């Protein structure tokens, strides 16, 4: 571990030592690659084995999946196969038959589609939910966090490219060696409080959700962060062209109302599947984008500071854990 990041690792270690979290895997990368990585705590795996976690363990990423699909969709935009203005009905003609608005890719990627959200562990097929849930508001008039919208992105990706969304992710992930990103992990770290938090994990896994279903290792996400930093640093085209990455970081939500759970007070915008914390009151550096997941997984990239960090844990309810403190410790390390 690089001593420069000792304060950040002390925070992660302290959360486990205090019992606030059962596990913590923290990794930090620059454009040159991973510079610090460590693991703390003990957890049960899906197989029932309980042991100390390692940096190589696989965690369920939940909504960190969203920008990983977003990269695949953005690559289709690069190829001229999709546009931000492409309507969802182009891939799914049955969608929106009772709506008087048009839901476009730009709405799906920015949580402004207005599609009514089913439960994370819905027993119905996600495509059925997408087509039949109805709407909460007209597309583009408000922002409400949406996972079902990513089923729409997956449908557009498949219609445009002829490949499934997870195959699209696997294709770009293989280019950077992030080969652990998968819908079908061999033995992931379990989420012990999932049922208490209202999620049936077996039903959730069965949805294979394009907005939440991937699992992966810290190394996989650190490779993503490092690759994005290389693109920002002008190292040439990688998994995305520099202009495409900048497009993904362009705010799409403006000053429209922000509905629960991401209200205006949280100080952020949504770009092309990325969470842009441009107005976050608790951060030292607001030139940051990334995403978090339901069980405490995190991936954040700071282009100006030249650093990306990954945090993996496995607890849905996390009282006393302030992720901004960790972000500040990483970005200000010296």
For 35-68, the pLDDT digits (tens) are: 999 999 999 999 999 999 999 999 999 999 999 9
Residue 166 predicted with pLDDT over 70: yes
Residue 217 predicted with pLDDT over 70: yes
pLDDT at 334: 77
How crowded is the C-beta side of 67, counted as CA atoms within 13 Å? Answer: 24
Average pLDDT over residues 2-19: 93
pLDDT at 261: 87
pLDDT at 185: 97
Average pLDDT over residues 145-170: 98
pLDDT for 81-140, tens place per residue? 999 999 999 999 999 988 999 999 999 999 999 999 999 999 999 999 999 999 999 999
Task: Give the angle 273-279-283 at the CA atoms, nearest 5°.
Answer: 100
Residue 2 predicted with pLDDT over 70: no
Residue 204 predicted with pLDDT over 70: yes
Tokens, residue 301: 């990239």
Q: Is-contact 290 63, C-beta < 8 A?
A: no
pLDDT at 268: 85
Q: Helix or strand or coil: residue 225?
A: helix
- How many CB atoms sit inside 10 A of residue 310's CB? 28
- How many CB atoms sit inside 10 A of residue 79's CB? 10
Q: For residue 267, what pLDDT band results from cuts at 50, 70 and 90?
A: confident
Residue 196 predicted with pLDDT over 60: yes
Q: What mean pLDDT value characterizes the chain? A: 96
Domain spans of the chain, in order of start? 3-331
What share of the chain has pLDDT > 70, as a percent?
A: 99
Residue 287 predicted with pLDDT over 80: yes
Alpha helices in the chain (DSSP H): 6-17, 65-78, 105-109, 126-132, 149-161, 165-175, 201-207, 218-232, 242-248, 323-331
Distance CA 28, CA 5 (A): 8
Q: Report which of 290, 275, 223 is spatially closest to residue 31, judged by C-alpha positions.
A: 223
Average pLDDT over residues 2-29: 95
pTM: 0.97
Distance CA 251, CA 201 (A): 33
pLDDT at 1: 52
Q: Which residues of 271-305 are buried (b: 16+ CB within 10 A; e: fewer)?
A: bbbbbbbbebeebebeebbbbbbbbbbbbbbbbeb
pLDDT at 266: 85
Q: Is-contact 131 92, C-beta < 8 A?
A: yes
Residue 262 predicted with pLDDT over 90: no
Q: Is-contact 149 167, C-beta < 8 A?
A: no
Classify residue 174 by its DSSP letter.
H
Instruction: Look up the CATH superfamily of 3-331.
Output: DD-peptidase/beta-lactamase superfamily (3.40.710.10)
Q: For residue 237, what pLDDT band results from cuts at 50, 70 and 90?
A: confident
């Amino acid at each position: 571990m690089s001593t420069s990041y000792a304060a950040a690792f002390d925070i992660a270690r302290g959360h486990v030592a205090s019992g606030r979290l059962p596990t913590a895997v923290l990794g930090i990368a620059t454009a040159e690659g991973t510079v610090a990585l460590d693991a703390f705590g003990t957890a049960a795996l899906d197989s029932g084995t309980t042991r100390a976690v390692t940096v190589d363990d696989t965690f369920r990423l939940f909504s960190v999946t969203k920008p990983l699909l977003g990269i695949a969709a953005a690559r289709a935009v690069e190829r001229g196969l999709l546009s931000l203005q492409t309507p969802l009905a182009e891939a799914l003609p049955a969608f929106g038959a009772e709506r008087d608005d048009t839901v476009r890719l730009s709405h799906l990627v920015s949580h402004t589609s207005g599609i009514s959200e089913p439960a994370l562990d819905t027993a119905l097929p996600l495509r059925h939910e997408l087509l039949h849930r109805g709407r909460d508001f007209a597309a583009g008039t408000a922002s409400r966090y949406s996972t079902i919208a990513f089923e729409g992105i997956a449908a557009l990706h498949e219609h445009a490219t002829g490949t499934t969304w997870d195959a699209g992710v696997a294709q770009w992930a293989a280019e950077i060696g992030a080969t652990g990103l998968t819908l079908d992990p061999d033995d992931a770290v379990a989420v012990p409080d999932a049922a208490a938090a209202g999620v049936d994990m077996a039903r959730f896994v069965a949805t294979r959700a394009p907005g939440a279903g991937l699992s992966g290792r810290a190394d996989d996400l650190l490779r993503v962060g490092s690759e994005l930093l290389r693109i920002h640093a002008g190292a040439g085209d990688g998994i995305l062209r520099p202009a495409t990455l900048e497009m993904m970081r362009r705010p799409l939500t403006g000053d429209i109302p922000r509905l629960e759970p991401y209200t205006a007070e949280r100080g952020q915008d949504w770009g092309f599947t990325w969470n842009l914390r441009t107005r976050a009151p608790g951060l030292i550096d607001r030139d940051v984008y990334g995403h978090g997941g339901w069980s405490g997984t995190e991936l954040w990239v700071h282009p100006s500071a030249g650093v990306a960090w990954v945090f993996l844990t496995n607890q849905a309810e996390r009282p006393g854990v302030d992720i901004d403190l960790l972000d500040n410790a990483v970005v200000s390390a010296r």
